[in-house]
Chain A
Amino acid sequence: MATVVPRPAAGVRAWLGSVAWTVPLTALAVLGLAVWVLSVATGVLVALWVGIPLVLLCVVMTRRLADLHRAWASEVLGRPIGRPYLPVPPRGSVSSLKAIAGDPATWRDFAWLLVNASAGIILHSLVLGLFAGGLWYLVLPALWWVVPEGALDLPLGLIESSRSSHPWVPLVLSAVSFALSWWLTPRLTWLNARMAASLLAPTRWSRLAGRVDQLAESRADTVDTHATELRRIERDLHDGAQARLVALGMSLGMAEEMLSRDPDAARELLAEARASSSQALAELRHLVRGIHPPVLADRGLEGAVRALAMTLPIPIDLDIELHGRPADPVESAVYFAVAESLANVTKHSGAHRVSLRVRHLDDRLSVLIRDDGRGGADPGRGSGLSGIRRRLAAFDGTLTVYSPAGGPTVVIMEVPCALSSQRTSSSSGTA
């Protein structure tokens, strides 16, 4: 980070923009100082309980200010600056206060308020001052003609500049001032942004803490999902194939017993036994498809998605370009996510056409599914979409849904993963 060179102003507009920004930023720095003072004052009152809501209010205002400056600094530095805050438990103001007080980011914010109100204001003033100076010396000669003689003369020691002697001096000073402003503004702005970022950006510690929270959550979800799946499989086996096999055994036993006494009845029982075994197989087949579809093992994601497309009642345009196969668990998760999304499209969207695109770019596998249905899909409403999100979260994958009422709906899934280069496939077509 320290080696990053300040970006020179990318033209007059950027320069003027940087100068203009100093005005609101200075005002915010002053406001920040007021919030700091208020926080200290109300912090004392926490012991008297009445201070708690006031302190919380201060924290909210501080974080607002900090967020604004994060946005500004990330714009200046050209890199995103994340929020470092730990999640606040939604359990009443006292425990929120404890969580906030225990979050190092809170204290870094308060430190930043002071730094911003001192060093920040000085840097802003320099930027503004140089520009204002250039402007002042530029209009000064004009003012000489308006104000009474001698009121705005420049006593510069060796040479006196006024309407009558050396009237060009202010123009030189203006040029120097503007040149300095041109050269210094981007550097000072950059310095200021760096200063803000150093206190406002997530530290290594808070990044790790956030990551741990996220992993704990996705792991809990994954474990839950797996347990539910296993229970479902157990139930399906118990009520399905196992029961059929019991019936099969019974039919066979009875047939064996009847074979000599009543061959016709025995034949009937044997036919029944055959039917039972067929049904058991059909149920097992269904179950296996739900665990890991054979075609996915055979042909990978592309083949499996193509096979899936062939069973879809809506015409679908496929555009799949994968050079290799992702790891098995990722492949399976993405396949089921696609299957679930397509099932949603058939069930809810009323679409006439679907398009599906699969790509692997920048170490991310991305799937885009677009339909021309009625839209209004909401992953927050406990639909199949939230299940997909959980499935993908186990691999740090994301699900993004754009579904305005009236359609169209676009679902984008992204999972970071590498491809093994064992097979190359690329195809597109309509099924």
Chain B
Amino acid sequence: MRVVIAEDLVLLRDGLIRLLEAHDCDVVEAVDNGPDLLRALTTHRPDVAVVDVRLPPTFTDEGLRAAIEAREQIPGLPVLVLSQYVEQLYARELLSEGGGGVGYLLKDRVFDVGQFVEAVQRVASGGTAMDPEVISQLLARHGGNEPLQRLSPREREVLSQMAEGRTNAAIGGRLFITEKAVSKHINNIFTKLDLPPSEDDHRRVLAVLAYLRA
């Protein structure tokens, strides 16, 4: 898997390179600023890009802007955005164009190496990886929503997992239930929230987010 990394702090950049190369990734280029990132993404066309939101020269949301611009030039280019903080506004911007292959995670998620690598692979294969923090903010905000209150606690757990971008098997593994039970829960959720059922992982996420956004 060919990866481009954008991170301005040397310590973290080296850490990411080491971590990804230890998991069968080929880091084709590691850059430390926005303009370089855009160039690297458009020339290398990597399988996935791991991008820090805040990059030089402006130290604002340079990385995010570069990633979005690259995705405009190369639709569907998988990008996993890392940040010290998550902002729903940015999650919405990343998801707004509708294509798959998007991730938005807190930097802390790198600590859990297994899950982080899994997220990178999921994004690379066109899936989604949303930080639980984004999802919990969304759920908290829409907690008073009537249809959401119809969900059982278990169904809400499944909904959160689904919104993060996990497959039925992964959800089952996390919640210690069978895959069959998961798909039963999901069907219940879709019915209760009036969402059209769908097999595609990424479309499921979009459907959930679209609902929560409304």
Question: Which A residues lie at the B interface, using CB under 8 A?
Answer: 274, 277-278, 281-282, 285, 288-289, 294-295, 297-299, 303, 306-307, 310-313
Contacts and interface: CB of A to CB of B under 8 A. Distances in A.
B89 A278 contact: no
A278 B111 contact: yes
A288 B107 CA distance: 15
A278 to B, nearest CB: 5
Nearest to A309: B89
A298 B59 CA distance: 8
B97 interface: no
B163 to A, nearest CB: 15
B111 A295 contact: no
B214 to A, nearest CB: 10
Contacts of A295: 85, 87, 89-90
Interface stretch (B33-41, B136-144, B150-158): B136-144
A277 B141 contact: no
A277 B111 contact: yes
B61 interface: yes
A281 B89 contact: no
Given A274-B111, A277-B108, A278-B108, A313 B144 contact: yes
Nearest to B92: A310
A310 B84 contact: no
Contacts of B108: 277-278, 281-282
Interface string B29-68: 0000000000000000000000001100001110000000
Contacts of A289: 85
B58 to A, nearest CB: 9
Given A281-B84, A295-B89, A306-B89, 4 more contacts: A277-B111, A288-B84, A295-B87, A307-B87
Nearest to A281: B108
Interface string B180-191: 000000000000
B88 A294 contact: no
B141 A285 contact: no
Interface of B: 53-54, 59-61, 84-85, 87-90, 92, 106-108, 111-112, 137, 140-144
A298 B61 contact: yes
Contacts of B137: 311
Contacts, number: 51
23 contacts: A274-B111, A278-B111, A281-B107, A288-B84, A294-B54, A294-B87, A295-B89, A295-B90, A297-B59, A297-B60, A298-B53, A298-B54, A298-B60, A298-B61, A299-B60, A299-B61, A299-B89, A306-B89, A307-B89, A310-B89, A310-B141, A311-B137, A311-B141
Contacts of B140: 313
Tell me whether chain A's interface is mostly helix, strand or loop, or mixed: helix
Contacts of B85: 285, 288-289, 294-295
Contacts of A312: 141
Contacts of B87: 294-295, 307
Contacts of A278: 108, 111
A298 B60 CA distance: 4
B92 to A, nearest CB: 7
B126 to A, nearest CB: 26
Nearest to A286: B85
Contact of A307 (B54, B88, B112, B141): B88
Nearest to B141: A313
Contact of B84 (A294, A299, A313): A294
Most interface-central of A288, A299, A310, A312 (chain B CB within 10 A): A310
Contacts of B106: 281
Nearest to B109: A278
Contacts of B143: 313
A56 to B, nearest CB: 58
Contacts of A313: 140-144
Nearest to A297: B60
Nearest to A284: B84
Contacts of B112: 274
Q: Which 4 A-B pairs have the closest CB atoms?
A: A298-B61, A298-B60, A307-B89, A310-B88
